[in-house]
A and B are shown apart, each in its own frame.
Chain A
């Protein structure tokens, strides 16, 4: 099977940081694009300073988070405050197909790397800008992070229990909406360029992406004036539908029963206890009406079972169920993820090994080619001398002048 070849021959200059932009370029890199990440020693990708670190020892090449977003990429250091560095960046863009960046609107322009300038070195360059708010509009100059935007974008209102305050996602959750839309647009732009010879500047924002992941809720407001809210783990048209405590510390199973056939299977999986034969529970409507009692009865049973055993029994009877998986479950217990080789350990010069993660899809005729993440500035010399054709002497001169930070 061909390996990593989908984007072979595509070169990407990647100014993006943290999660959104790097996810876009990681998928390209894993499948053969040459992605050159631009960083600097004084300003490395912020994710390098986000732990946990290997063996709890901080270091720019020791973050366990960085590999997940930066597999298969190159890292070049440039101090973009220096004119020479900007010139080098421009020359590199002149030899590339795509530029990806996630600075606030206007920053690339200020650096001398705006779309207009880049078109001068490469007329058909495709430039993708991923931000929270977009390139124009009253919020475009506002600093924000996905960590906060998830609330503004309407997601947080939908998390938690109806009788108390909502709960935030403990990560920048909306960073996981925009990249897929950005990537879809970017790959389409590559195809468009094949057909027309024209590049383009693409503006993707979280504020315009997230509504597509809240569609039905927003439509209910737009068409009906109704504001939906959070419902814990319950579902209007299914019962039981929820998360139940199991044996052990913080162990839970999730179960969802959508029709009468599955209810029969569910009862069988529990061993047909007496309470399940109560008429009140025999229909969906009845189960919804008596949902608290239903859930109490279920949990009385599950509390004494291992989550894995409940799930196995459920699945055997054709009922949808899952362990509420934690980090250990995902990487060490889940047989399906192991089968798919979702998580891959790669050798790493400073970390010993780093865990990288596959995209959630596979192709019949081509495989991915995941490689470890780059150390900071690991490829500065390589890019300069092998790609840009800078002589060894010139490289040393530029180094001393602090062009690479």
Chain B
């Protein structure tokens, strides 16, 4: 079965900022080659590690972000390495890189140089702030990109500093946006007849998941700030997180069209369990969000709080399905991995890892289609695993040359 991107080849020179980009393209069927420094990439030192063994071939971080890629080693800081890079680039559609702006140019391996070899080449550069501008040489990290993009400011309890999402998001967002941008350039190549230099800014990626930050300032001249697990709507602080018997659930008092029906159904459930009768005859859907007062919210939420405290997440979740009201349990990693919807969709993929002597399970298909199938074809490459396939079989290097290059530390 042909895949979405089967004719296309990608050279992935990137670090954390770009790994997910190449991975997504590999998932969609492109032939993605991860290029590492001889001896192994720095990102192999990022955990978690398989059974906590901090070995460069046992990084689960590496395994997750580099499946569906083959792997070669190449030192592009060496002149001979760059010569090989130029040979490779002639046979590839896309190069992904995340070096500091200007670095590849300084090596004579920047977009302007490489496009002389292959005018169809697309180079996607993912950097902290973009290729140009006052901040182009500044460093970033997950926390800083989230802070500079605006997400940190709106997150966290009011009595503590604003906070980031511990499970790092910034480089995932940049990688995913990088995939979109790369595919746009690839699509455009049909009309344009040539490639592009694609310039992705990690900071700009993190200005997207804000929703209300910009409108609050633009329309009201107000700074929209964190309110803990409350949503400030039309002057009312609405509670979003409710403790229950064995954890927390995410729920909101429902008024107006979208949420009102849900609220009615929750009240029905509560009434069936012998409580919440003071909420029984309220016309939830008819209350506009602008009409709701803080006093009403706090008064109506109290019986719900008490009710939730007497039930487990599972009980409340089951009830939300049966009675049709919107509520989500706060799930831990285990509960995500055991979610019945994902099990029913055969979401998790088990892949053999001979060098570990065991199989490892991975998150799987992010799309289903009537024509093509998302596949986990390859586990993440071991160091230099496909050197022979690429250098000998494809580029025709004789064994003697391979040995020479290896000994010189070029591959």
Q: Check: B360 CB closer than 8 A to any chain A CB.
A: yes
Q: Is the pair B207, A320 in contact by a Cβ cutoff of 8 Å? A: no
CB-based closest 10 A-B pairs: A64-B215, A327-B217, A360-B204, A180-B176, A151-B250, A171-B211, A188-B4, A211-B363, A200-B371, A254-B147
CB neighbours (8 Å) of A167 from chain B are: 155-157, 163, 228-229, 241
Q: Is the pair B172, A326 in contact by a Cβ cutoff of 8 Å? A: no
Closest to B172 in A: A213
Q: Check: B409 CB closer than 8 A to any chain A CB.
A: no
Q: Check: A256 CB closer than 8 A to any chain B CB.
A: yes
Q: Quick one: given A154-B335, A326-B224, are A173 and B209 in contact (CB under 8 Å)? A: yes
Q: Which of A2, A184, A362 contacts B130 (CB 8 A)?
A: A362
CB neighbours (8 Å) of B164 from chain A are: 233, 243
Q: Is the pair A187, B326 in contact by a Cβ cutoff of 8 Å? A: no
Interface extent on B, as a size class?
A: 35 or more
**A18 and B14 alpha carbons, distance in the complex (Å):** 33
CB neighbours (8 Å) of B232 from chain A are: 170
B180 CB to closest chain A CB (Å) equals 5
Closest to B203 in A: A336
Q: Is the pair B250, A150 in contact by a Cβ cutoff of 8 Å? A: yes
Write 12 A-B pairs (CB below 8 A) sorted by A numbering. Answer: A138-B340, A145-B258, A151-B331, A184-B176, A227-B334, A233-B161, A319-B139, A327-B217, A357-B207, A357-B208, A358-B204, A363-B185
* Beyond A166-B330, A190-B187, 7 extra complex contacts between A and B, CB < 8 Å: A52-B212, A189-B369, A212-B176, A216-B46, A223-B50, A233-B161, A340-B204
Q: Is the pair A160, B163 in contact by a Cβ cutoff of 8 Å? A: yes
Q: Is the pair A151, B328 in contact by a Cβ cutoff of 8 Å? A: yes
Classify the interface of chain A: helix, strand, loop or mixed. mixed
Q: Check: B71 CB closer than 8 A to any chain A CB.
A: no
**A316 and B157 alpha carbons, distance in the complex (Å):** 32
Q: Is the pair B165, A155 in contact by a Cβ cutoff of 8 Å? A: yes
Q: Check: A268 CB closer than 8 A to any chain B CB.
A: no
Closest to B210 in A: A171
Closest to A7 in B: B187
Q: Is the pair B217, A328 in contact by a Cβ cutoff of 8 Å? A: yes
A157 CB to closest chain B CB (Å) equals 5
Q: Quick one: given A148-B251, A207-B341, are A198 and B371 in contact (CB under 8 Å)? A: yes
Q: Is the pair B186, A191 in contact by a Cβ cutoff of 8 Å? A: yes
Q: Which of B60, B201, B337 contacts A361 (CB 8 A)?
A: B201
Q: Is the pair B370, A200 in contact by a Cβ cutoff of 8 Å? A: yes
Hey, what's the 0/1 contact readout for B225-240 against A, CB within 8 Å counting as 1? Answer: 1111111101000001
Residues in A313-333 with C-beta less than 8 Å from chain B: 315, 318-331
A-binding segment of B81-89, B189-197, B279-287, B396-404: B189-197
Q: Which of A2, A198, A336 contacts B133 (CB 8 A)?
A: A336
B-binding segment of A53-61, A72-80, A87-95: A53-61
**A156 and B250 alpha carbons, distance in the complex (Å):** 9
B288 CB to closest chain A CB (Å) equals 9
Q: Is the pair A214, B192 in contact by a Cβ cutoff of 8 Å? A: no
Q: Is the pair B166, A231 in contact by a Cβ cutoff of 8 Å? A: yes
A295 CB to closest chain B CB (Å) equals 10
Give the size of the chain A interface in residues (CB under 8 angstroms). Answer: 154
Q: Check: A252 CB closer than 8 A to any chain B CB.
A: yes
Q: Check: A404 CB closer than 8 A to any chain B CB.
A: no
Residues in B68-92 with C-beta less than 8 Å from chain A: none
Q: Quick one: given A187-B187, A327-B150, A361-B200, are A256 and B218 in contact (CB under 8 Å)? A: no
**A178 and B198 alpha carbons, distance in the complex (Å):** 22
**A232 and B326 alpha carbons, distance in the complex (Å):** 28
B54 CB to closest chain A CB (Å) equals 11
Q: Which of B4, B163, B321 contacts A191 (CB 8 A)?
A: B4
Q: Is the pair A218, B336 in contact by a Cβ cutoff of 8 Å? A: yes
Hey, what's the 0/1 contact readout for A141-166 against B, CB within 8 Å counting as 1? Answer: 01111011111111111111100111
CB neighbours (8 Å) of B234 from chain A are: 51
A-binding segment of B266-274, B342-350, B387-395: B342-350
Q: Check: A270 CB closer than 8 A to any chain B CB.
A: no
A235 CB to closest chain B CB (Å) equals 7
Q: Check: A201 CB closer than 8 A to any chain B CB.
A: yes
Q: Which of B28, B196, B200, B216 contacts A327 (CB 8 A)?
A: B216
CB neighbours (8 Å) of A2 from chain B are: 192
CB neighbours (8 Å) of B141 from chain A are: 238, 256, 258, 320
Q: Is the pair B345, A159 in contact by a Cβ cutoff of 8 Å? A: no
Q: Which of A19, A55, A196 contacts B2 (CB 8 A)?
A: A196
Q: Quick one: given A137-B345, A148-B327, A181-B366, are A68 and B214 in contact (CB under 8 Å)? A: yes
**A218 and B334 alpha carbons, distance in the complex (Å):** 8
Closest to A193 in B: B371
**A191 and B30 alpha carbons, distance in the complex (Å):** 12
Q: Check: B94 CB closer than 8 A to any chain A CB.
A: no
CB neighbours (8 Å) of B48 from chain A are: 216, 219-220, 223-224, 226, 228
**A320 and B147 alpha carbons, distance in the complex (Å):** 12
Q: Is the pair A219, B362 in contact by a Cβ cutoff of 8 Å? A: yes
**A211 and B334 alpha carbons, distance in the complex (Å):** 12
Q: Check: B109 CB closer than 8 A to any chain A CB.
A: no
Q: Is the pair B344, A138 in contact by a Cβ cutoff of 8 Å? A: yes
**A357 and B46 alpha carbons, distance in the complex (Å):** 34
Q: Is the pair B4, A151 in contact by a Cβ cutoff of 8 Å? A: no
Q: Is the pair A187, B139 in contact by a Cβ cutoff of 8 Å? A: no
**A181 and B24 alpha carbons, distance in the complex (Å):** 8
CB neighbours (8 Å) of B407 from chain A are: none
Q: Is the pair B243, A321 in contact by a Cβ cutoff of 8 Å? A: no
Q: Is the pair A64, B204 in contact by a Cβ cutoff of 8 Å? A: no
Q: Is the pair B205, A360 in contact by a Cβ cutoff of 8 Å? A: yes
Q: Check: B319 CB closer than 8 A to any chain A CB.
A: no
Q: Which of B148, B220, B249, B348 contacts A52 (CB 8 A)?
A: B220
CB neighbours (8 Å) of B364 from chain A are: 208
**A96 and B279 alpha carbons, distance in the complex (Å):** 48
Q: Is the pair B153, A326 in contact by a Cβ cutoff of 8 Å? A: yes
Q: Quick one: given A156-B250, A361-B177, are A320 and B139 in contact (CB under 8 Å)? A: yes
Q: Quick one: given A176-B209, A224-B51, A243-B161, are A340 and B201 in contact (CB under 8 Å)? A: yes
Q: Choose among B329, B331, B368 the residue with the greatest number of A CB atoms under 10 Å from its CB.
A: B368
**A39 and B224 alpha carbons, distance in the complex (Å):** 29
A360 CB to closest chain B CB (Å) equals 3
CB neighbours (8 Å) of B345 from chain A are: 134, 136-137, 208
CB neighbours (8 Å) of B162 from chain A are: 243, 252, 324
**A325 and B108 alpha carbons, distance in the complex (Å):** 37
CB neighbours (8 Å) of A160 from chain B are: 156-157, 163
Q: Check: A274 CB closer than 8 A to any chain B CB.
A: no
**A215 and B361 alpha carbons, distance in the complex (Å):** 11
Closest to B51 in A: A224
**A173 and B152 alpha carbons, distance in the complex (Å):** 13
CB neighbours (8 Å) of A403 from chain B are: none
